Amino acid sequence: MNEFMNRNTTTLAIDTDARDMAGIARQLSDGALNALEELVIGLGAKEAFATIRARSEEMRGNHVTFLLQEFCIDNDVDVNDMRGVSRVRSLVVHRQQFIRQARRAGHNTVEIGRVLHRDHSTISHHIGKNGA
């Protein structure tokens, strides 16, 4: 009976720790996430960490989408135009401004590219060319 109680207590502690980590996971860099993953896997909670990582990435993706919507409202630009292929100068300038804003908010090129329907290398090219 004692062994069963200890195992349940340990499982409860790991579940609680996993929930606590979910709150801070989105604030961690990739290196820190990888170190945390090693620690959690060592505790036997690989599935918990996979859930934390997925939710963290989902939250970051939702944040950059929210930034785009907010940017479009503030600048009176349609979201579909921002994601489109048009090279009208005013749209190009707005895309450049959004990329700078998203980078300052801490988003990487993959996240920004995903929300603008562009490859990450296109975003990297802009950053290198315009110093975003």
What percent of the chain is modeled with pLDDT above 90? 41
pLDDT for the residue 12: 46
- In the prediction, which pLDDT does 84 show? 94
Q: What is the pLDDT of residue 5?
A: 47
pLDDT beneath 70, residues of the chain: 1-61, 131-132
**Would you list the DSSP string of 19-64?**
HHHHHHHTTS-HHHHHHHHHHHHHTT-HHHHHHHHHHHHHHHHHHH
**pLDDT score for 126:** 86
Provide CB contacts within 8 A for 36, sequence distance 6+.
21, 25, 28, 49
Segment 23-61, tens digit of pLDDT: 555 555 566 666 666 666 665 566 666 666 666 666 665
